[in-house]
Amino acid sequence: MQHLSVLESLDLSSNKIGGEIPQQLASLTSLEVLNLSHNHLIGCIPKGKQFDTFENSSYQGNDGLRGLPLSKDCGSDEGVPQATTPFGLDQEEEEDGDSSMISWQAVLMGYGCGLVIGLSVIYIMLSIRYPVWFSRMDVELEHKILTRMKKYKKGYVTSRGLIPVEISRLSKLQVLSIQSSLLRFETHNFELLLKNLTRLRELHLRSVNISSTIPLNFSSYLTNLELSTTQIYGILPEGVFHLSNLESLDISSNPQLTVRFPTFKWNSSASLMKLNLSNVNATGRIPESFGHLTSLHTLSIASCNLSGSIPKPLWNLTNIEEMFLVDNHLEGPISDFFRFGKLRLLSLGNNSFDGQLEFLSFSRWTQLESLVFSFNFLTGPIPSNVSGMQNLQRLYLSSNLFNGTIPSWIFSLPSLEWLDLSDNHFSGNIQEFKSKTLDRVVLKQNHLQGSSHGLRLWTCYWTVHNIHNVVNSISNMVFEDGCRLRTQNSYENEKAQEKTLVCNLQDSSPLHCWDENKSF
């Protein structure tokens, strides 16, 4: 026991432990949380020090225990408290509870046992389908929290899915992670949680239904804040950007949340490594203050209704590995993107960028895995002297103004899986692809031709507006294993319906297409 002298929490509930409680436990002066409930313990409860602070719930379900705080003292044989059924469950539900108990974690880590000094964490991870909370909150939650959850096969109490307000009383809580779209906060409980949990270092509430504004008060210790898809609304307090220890901020997929970026250097500039603000209301320009985020390796501001050009200070973010600016109104040349030599993922689709891809030849993009430039105004031929893209898996250049031939390095990409060069002005022959992992190629609306040594795919995709024009569109192409054709058929309501057809194409054989229900 001397090795546990700084232990803060001990939870041995719902096991099959028998015998008496060791008297040595009374010497653990740092013990704040004790849960020995629902075992087979007997004898007298130790007295003194921390044991004088624990209440009935720490021992319930042990019929043989005696002594304070239970009603049966050590010299009596009467008054043994009966195990209580948690609120909201009837006897029948309690009987079949064991078979339907779900897995859950409430981890309490203390100072002792040779673990991390100074760390006191309660980590609650909830990723359940039909949660039901119940608890006997008749204890001081500064010292303990006894929360149970059950998933049972029939019927649910009306409180299903509510996150208990009692969590907000755990003033020493440092890590809280709750992730489920079927969990929600009651009105004002989210604000209460932030107000009271002043030592929080990590707060993850992805997909939880918060449906409120964001309060001003956040723990100054926060390093990770995740509130994505939580239906928060109103204006994001600027103070969030100035949390000096913040390393990761994700408030994405909250379209009713208005975000106004600070125009000057953020207090989190030196520490922030991940910033995800996609699909929020951040109308305006990308501020120059982004250029101070020198530790940033992930930047996602997609679908934010942003406009204007990329500010020059942003090019200073040389540690960027992932950048998502898709679905905005951004414009200007893209020539300076060569500065981001560590890029793995770059997505600039559906904007108004212009210029040419010359920057691809300025560096060896050895880490690049995905490159998305679709739906812009990029022009000219693709440079032919690009090298080092052995890890590139996806290349999307569709719906631009590219011309010239497709350079040979694209056909030689060893890891290529998806390629979309559709709706451009490419011409010339299609060469044989070297990739063994190639799954999808889209080349429609160009001036390309192939031969029998060309495409060798399991599936390929073409879009044609009229099945009778298919032969003219691809008469020079040969697909060894067949081809999937997407056709759009117009109806009187002027809505197009897309159908996927499977086609056999051989050197001289007639075109034959079919779907599951009809043969053409």
What pLDDT digit, counting tens, does each position of 302-317 carry? 999 999 999 988 888 8
**Number of helices (H) and strands (E), helices first, in the chain?**
5, 35
> pLDDT band at residue 152, thresholds of 50, 70 and 90?
very low
Please, which pLDDT band fits residue 155 given cuts at 50, 70 and 90?
very low
Q: Average pLDDT of 249-277?
A: 91
Tell me what pLDDT residue 42 has: 87
pLDDT of residue 3: 53
Of 160, 57, 21, 150, give the one whose Cα is nearest residue 95.
150
Query: Residue 296: how many CA atoms within 13 Å on its side-chain side?
Result: 26
Q: Which helix (H) or strand (E) holds 189?
A: helix 189-196
Give me the pLDDT at residue 301, please. Answer: 96
Under 8 Å CB-to-CB from 339, ≥6 apart: which residues? 315, 318
Instruction: Please state the rounded mean pLDDT for residues 56-64.
Output: 84
Q: Please give the average per-residue pLDDT across 350-354, as a whole number.
A: 96
Task: Kindly tell me if the per-residue pLDDT of 361 is higher than 90.
Answer: no
> What is the average pLDDT across 182-204?
87
Q: Is 107 helix (H, G, I), strand (E, B) or coil?
A: strand
Please name which of 177, 215, 176, 208 lies closest in space to residue 194, comparing C-alpha atoms: 215
CA 95-96-100 angle, to 5 degrees, is 140
The mean pLDDT of 218-225, rounded to a whole number, is 92
User: Is a pLDDT exceeding 90 seen at residue 376?
Assistant: yes
CA dihedral 143, 146, 147, 151 (to 10 degrees): 160
Q: How confident is the model at residue 174 (pLDDT cuts 50, 70, 90)?
A: confident
Q: Round the CA-based radius of gyration of the chain to a whole number and report it.
A: 31
- What local confidence, expressed as pLDDT, does residue 260 receive? 92
Six-digit token string for 144: 């303990």
Asked whether residue 416 carries a pLDDT value surpassing 90, the answer given is yes
Average pLDDT score over residue span 438-463: 62
Q: What is the 3-state secondary structure (H, E, C) of 384-397?
A: CCCCCCCCCCEEEC
pLDDT of 83 above 50: no
- pLDDT higher for 479 or 421? 421
Mean pLDDT of 55-84: 69
pLDDT at 519 over 70: no
CA separation for the pair 352, 354 (Å, rounded)? 6
Tokens 């891809």 correspond to 357
Res 263 pLDDT > 60: yes
251 has pLDDT over 60: yes
Q: What is the mean pLDDT of the chain?
A: 72
Task: Report which residue type is found at 314.
Answer: L
Q: Which band of pLDDT confidence, cut at 50, 70 and 90, is reported for residue 324?
A: very high
At 486, is the pLDDT very low, low, confident or very high (cuts 50, 70, 90)?
A: very low
- Structure confidence at residue 4 (pLDDT): 61
Residue 335, pLDDT > 90, answer no
Given a cut of 90, whether residue 370 has pLDDT beyond it is: yes
- What is the tens place of the pLDDT at every residue in 109-130? 222 222 222 223 333 333 333 3
- Which of 78-82, 137-141, 262-266 is least confident? 137-141
- Across residues 204-215, what is the average pLDDT? 91
Q: How confident is the model at residue 47 (pLDDT cuts 50, 70, 90)?
A: confident
Task: Assess whether pLDDT exceeds 90 at residue 491.
Answer: no
Q: Residue 92: what pLDDT?
A: 35
* Residue 241 to residue 279: CA distance in whole angstroms: 18
Which has more pLDDT, 150 or 274? 274
> Residues 9-44: pLDDT tens digits?
777 787 777 888 887 777 777 777 788 888 888 888
More confident position, 158 or 182: 182
Distances (CA, A) of 474 to 451, 479, 483, 513: 11, 10, 11, 14
Q: Is a pLDDT exceeding 50 seen at residue 329?
A: yes
Domains of the chain from N-terminus onward: 2-84 (3.80.10.10), 95-232 (no CATH), 450-520 (no CATH)
pLDDT for residue 425 is more than 90? yes
- Predicted local confidence at residue 5, as pLDDT: 63
Question: Would you say residue 326 has pLDDT above 80?
Answer: yes
Q: Cα separation of 444 and 422, whole Å?
A: 5
Which residues, in sequence order, are CB contacts of 38 under 8 Å at separation 6+? Answer: 13, 14, 15, 60, 61, 62, 83
Average pLDDT for 70-90: 48
CA-nearest of 144, 136, 36 to 84 is 136
